[in-house]
Structure 1
Amino acid sequence: MRMIVANGVALHVREEGDPDGAPVVFSNSLGTDLRLWDAILPHLPAGLRIIRYDKRGHGLSDCPEGPYHLEDLVSDAEGLLEALAIRDCVFVGLSVGGLIAQSLAARRPDLIRAAVLSNTAGTMGDAAMWEARMEAIRMGGLDAVAEAVMDRWFGKSFRQDPAVALWKNMMARTPQDGYLGCCAAIAAADLTESTSALTLPVLGIAGAEDGACPAERTAATVGSIRGARMETIPATGHLPCVEAPGSYATLLTQFLKETGHV
């Protein structure tokens, strides 16, 4: 295990693959840690430098007092890439990780040469919806919302898989302050204008049965970016990299080849 202090926060980081290879950085969703990407890694091409990390308040990373702002999460990622001397990476962000990808790409195009915006959008929900969820968590803990979150995360077929219990436990064991902090960051985020101005190569990925960020919302955001391409994986929800890792990895590998990253 490795910790790197970035933006004053100790972040749990995992590096795999070729240390001299083209860097691919993964940023995960609310209520998950870097294990979100485990299933796709065996399907990716050899020779990549793969970097995964737990954002603040999640996994083994520090959990500063909240609420957080998206700017905090983006500055964490920026500091991490600088600490690892990473330039020209492909940044893969899912859900709030996709918000981080959008904002970081707008702020630091020298760090990111291409981005994958997965199950995300320029805005994700409204403030009232997020406040209601945060209040339910304050009153009853993460267990109070866990079943509803699983319904939004997974497609109808996968929802019956025993593996869902693993993801429910991961979500419910997220530090409550970290989860609430990131909820606040998502609730206040509106990247509509800055994302539509992006000029780097972008691949959008959605799950056809995503109950957290419907595919049409991801498509609308990706469609606002000149030259971006959108793909939807059938019969999957908010975490298609979990439900259909082979399909997800195929789309990512094709994008890496299209952008000359492999």
Structure 2
Amino acid sequence: MDTTTPSAITTGDGVRIGYRLDGEPDRPVLVLANSIGTDLHMWDGQVPALSDHFRLLRYDARGHGTSDVPSGPYSLDRLGRDVVELLDALDLPRVHVLGLSLGGMVAQWLGIHAPDRVDRLVLANTAAYLGPPDQWDRPIADLLAAPDMRATAEVFLHNWFPARMLQDEVVEGFRRTLLATRREGVAGSWAAVRDYDLRRTATLIRSPTLVIAGEHDTVTSAGHGQELAAIIPGARYTEMPVMHLTNVERPAEFVDAVVEFLSERP
């Protein structure tokens, strides 16, 4: 497996976006888009299996990991354009996109607003809408007023993983990432979730799409996944007995579903 060192681009609004490429250059490119509170390493466990089939492009969303952390609210439009600018900088005209949670929202945006850049979509543990918007105002204000990320990190972990996994080493890695993430990045990303609504426009997605949901997900429920699959023309739906980070809780089943879908002939 050919692996590049992490690198970065600078977007049109002056924000540094860190990224990493893994896998052989002659394979189809699969972009991996992250959830809030994680960085590109949330996919580490899937890289060996996925890179047998794809050239993987992972990136840190603005506000996370090695990317810059601009203050103030972010928008889904800006998060989507970050990916388009990354594809442009790397001269990647057309890719598959796999996004989980906020990454799945960004993937939907790409399918709607940059359809010529997207071959197939996998939308995992995500939704077309997570309203009402005002439910996000208090968490954003409380986080920005908090002394650090400790309390928020524990809420995230309890929403992401079943109790039996909370002391696992893999979860400790996610805890460390959360504690190292700046509050402004999480709050800015929450604002993007607060302000988005793709329930009408997701019907414009024409890329073949697989929606993956978690039976026990309390962040983006199975109902959200079913609604999304019903909105997108021809979308397939699969549900797994998991919480929010399906790729971590059921990695083998997750990878199998992704590879099977993305490798189908038209």
TM-score (norm 1): 0.93
Distance in 2 between the 1:16 and 1:163 partners? 21
Among candidates 204, 208, 213, match of residue 220 of structure 2: 213
Distance in 2 between the 1:39 and 1:205 partners? 18
2:183 matches 1:176: yes
Deviation (angstroms), 1:160 = 4.9
Distance in 2 between the 1:74 and 1:127 partners? 20
Which segment is superposed worse, 22-31 or 37-46?
Answer: 37-46
2:146 matches 1:107: no
Query: Which residue is 1:2 aligned to?
Result: 7
Query: Which residue is 2:36 aligned to?
Result: 30
Query: Which residue is 2:239 aligned to?
Result: 232
CA shift in 2, pair 1:259/1:170, >3 Å: farther
SS at 2:211's partner residue? strand
Partners of 1:151 and 1:211 within 8 A in 2 = no
* Equivalent position amino acid for 1:199 in 2: R
Among candidates 203, 206, 212, match of residue 199 of structure 1: 206
Deviation (angstroms), 1:45 = 5.7
Partners of 2:115 and 2:206 within 8 A in 1 = no
Give the share of equivalent positions with the same residue, in percent: 35
SS at 1:185's partner residue? helix
* Equivalent position amino acid for 1:213 in 2: T
Distance in 1 between the 2:9 and 2:101 partners? 23
Query: Which residue is 1:188 aligned to?
Result: 195
* Equivalent position amino acid for 1:254 in 2: E
Among candidates 21, 27, 30, match of residue 15 of structure 1: 21
Query: Which residue is 1:143 aligned to?
Result: 150
Deviation (angstroms), 1:87 = 2.1
Unaligned regions of 5+ residues in structure 1, if any? none
2:59 matches 1:79: no
* Equivalent position amino acid for 2:251 in 1: P
* Equivalent position amino acid for 1:35 in 2: H
Among candidates 56, 61, 68, match of residue 62 of structure 1: 68
1:110-136 Cα deviation digits (max 9, x unpaired):
110111111111112432321121122
Which segment is superposed worse, 24-33 or 215-224?
Answer: 215-224
CA shift in 2, pair 1:100/1:6, >3 Å: same
Distance in 1 between the 2:168 and 2:182 partners? 25
Unaligned regions of 5+ residues in structure 2, if any? 1-5
Distance in 2 between the 1:254 and 1:135 partners? 42
CA shift in 2, pair 1:259/1:57, >3 Å: farther
| Alpha-carbon RMSD | 1.6
Which segment is superposed worse, 42-51 or 60-69?
Answer: 42-51
1:232-251 to structure 2, matched below 5 A, reads: 232-234=239-241, 236-251=242-257
Which segment is superposed worse, 149-158 or 172-181?
Answer: 149-158
1:201-228 Cα deviation digits (max 9, x unpaired):
0001112221211111112111211111
Query: Which residue is 2:258 aligned to?
Result: 252
Among candidates 123, 127, 138, match of residue 129 of structure 2: 123
Query: How many aligned positions are there?
Result: 259
